[in-house]
Amino acid sequence: MGLQTTEKPFLERVEEAKKDKFMQGSVAKAQDAQLIKREDARAQLGHWQQWRELGEQIRKETVRYLPDYLEEFADNVEKQGGHVFFAKDDKEAAAFIRQVAVEKKAKNIVKSKSMVTAEIGLNKQLLSIPGVSLMETDLAEFILQEDDWDEPTHIVFPTLHKNRTQIQKIFQKLGYKGDNDPSTMAKFARKYLRNKFIHADLGITGCNFAIADNGMINLVTNEGNADLCMAIPKTQVVVMGMERIVPSLKEAETLDNMLSRSAVGQKLTSYCTFCGKKQDGESDGPDDFYVVIVDNGRSKALGTVFEPVLQCIRCGACLNVCPIYRHIGGHGYGSIYPGPIGAVLSPILDGYEKFGDLPFASSLCAACTETCPVKIPLHHLLIEHRRIMMDKIHTDHTFTNQIMKIIGVGTGSPFLFKSVLRFGHVGLNVLTTKKPANTVSGFLYQQGRVGKVNPPLPKLMLGWTDLRDLPNVSKKHQNFRSWFGKHTPVKAVAHPQPLK
């Protein structure tokens, strides 16, 4: 699969997504339910803003000294007999893991949910090995796999776009005969997958946090499938983005707490595991243990204004509050990392040519920045991407670009602005055609109204009036400045006694 999920142009993806009313309904429902669960879970913890500050400090410190923490972590994994591979990019990472599978003569591979394995396109590589069976064991990822490898639409809830009847149909292909009751279907999947676990010889998991000072992997799940992927097969491969590291168990505890509350509104997930290579005297765990640490463009953010994006703990809360995500869902973004974090991260990982539209797909409402548990200034970083595209590398060669520059000149010159105030009404009046009476009363259209306009007027103006009516510019003698020059001040009834 890889980072990019489709090559269709942005607007086409958005139009397709907007037609999917079921998806929109389920995303809205999930967002609304998560709002209550998440805020409750955070309120129960108390002092949420201070927790965020702590979370930010931990992640900032880790990212700032990332090379040191990675070295410490790798040393500790190797001390315990594990192997660490640093992969420069997606291809190197996937090729290494494929090689491990070939060398171990793996036949039955089980995976637990991991966004980074999707990012590096691992499944395709593994399936290219003759005679290998590959099984996604996270319930949602299992559903996607059995639906001909459909793409996830959310980093925490991958099948948000599917309903229970669709899932029932997918399961029927595997011999399921029951109804569309979620618990009956989950039991079926459990039984089906259990058989795969027992025979698995290679387990692949992601990693929520890697603990630098003891070389352990921290996995946070609700299904326990990751624990089985790790406990049963003789060989385990852990794949992690290079920033997914914390200094010690102490910081992991803090972040697990914040992650569970932010991602799913739980105090803690059902399973929260710390694991590594099987040690002497232990009854389960892998004999061979590999950790693949993936860069794949992440280091491009280091030392730049985008460095805070590496603070992300992949809770998905920014998706769950985003009004754009609410309406276009994950597929609209065309990246396996959708939503605000995806709009910031995807262009860093793989450039503006593929993902340059995403930073503009935001009203900058800052709901993402407000909810982020580790205080990534997401909406600021979206503006930073825009700034690089418009001011530095000039990706926009359309007429809109020229108009933006004209707006820049107009809002920077008092003389020009005063001219607009003087002549604007007449100018816009030309566009005013006969139209029905206003249904909206109040101050909006007291100076007149412009309805829908037609080409060849600039796209920017059509973009406004295709959807909404536009107020006309005030006549010069009726505008605020003229009024202010003439008006008699209202009699003061109180003398101000400033509180500040």
> Which CB atom, from 132 or from 390, has the smaller least distance to other proteins?
390
Binding segment (CB under 8 A) for other proteins, from list 186-194, 275-283, 292-300, 367-375: 367-375
CA distance 14 to 237: 36
**Residue 178 near other proteins by CB under 8 A:** no
**Residue 426 near other proteins by CB under 8 A:** no
Q: Minimal distance in Å, beta carbon 270 to other proteins?
A: 29
Q: Minimal distance in Å, beta carbon 488 to other proteins?
A: 10
**Residue 417 near other proteins by CB under 8 A:** yes
CA distance 212 to 248: 6
**Residue 464 near other proteins by CB under 8 A:** yes
Collapsed DSSP state (helix, strand, coil) of residue 83: strand
CA distance 37 to 156: 15
Q: Which amino acid is at 190?
A: R
Task: Write the CA distances from 121 to 103, 349, 490, integer angstroms.
Answer: 20, 14, 69
Single out the residue of 177, 397, 434, 491 in contact with other proteins (rule: CB under 8 A).
Answer: 491
CA distance 93 to 489: 72
Binding marks (x or -) toward other proteins, 430..459, rule CB under 8 A?
------x-xxxxxxxxxx-x----------
Task: Give the H or E element holding residue 470.
Answer: strand 470-471
**Residue 497 near other proteins by CB under 8 A:** yes
Q: Which parts of 336-365 interact with other proteins (CB under 8 A)?
A: 360-365
Q: Which amino acid is at 349?
A: L
**Residue 165 near other proteins by CB under 8 A:** no
Q: Which parts of 9-38 interact with other proteins (CB under 8 A)?
A: 11, 14-15, 18, 24, 32, 35
> Which CB atom, from 27 or from 212, has the smaller least distance to other proteins?
27
Binding segment (CB under 8 A) for other proteins, from list 245-253, 287-295, 303-311, 366-374: 366-374
Q: Which parts of 311-340 interact with other proteins (CB under 8 A)?
A: 321, 323-324, 326-328
Single out the residue of 102, 420, 426, 457 in contact with other proteins (rule: CB under 8 A).
Answer: 420
Q: Minimal distance in Å, beta carbon 500 to other proteins?
A: 5
Q: Which amino acid is at 134?
A: L
**Residue 374 near other proteins by CB under 8 A:** no
Place of tokens 């869902």: 329
CA distance 377 to 363: 15
CA distance 182 to 186: 6
Place of tokens 């007291």: 446
**Residue 184 near other proteins by CB under 8 A:** no
Single out the residue of 131, 175, 414, 456 in contact with other proteins (rule: CB under 8 A).
Answer: 414
E-only strand ranges, 127-176: 133-136
**Residue 495 near other proteins by CB under 8 A:** yes
CA distance 139 to 153: 15
CA distance 293 to 12: 35
Collapsed DSSP state (helix, strand, coil) of residue 230: helix
Q: Minimal distance in Å, beta carbon 314 to other proteins?
A: 22
**Residue 404 near other proteins by CB under 8 A:** yes
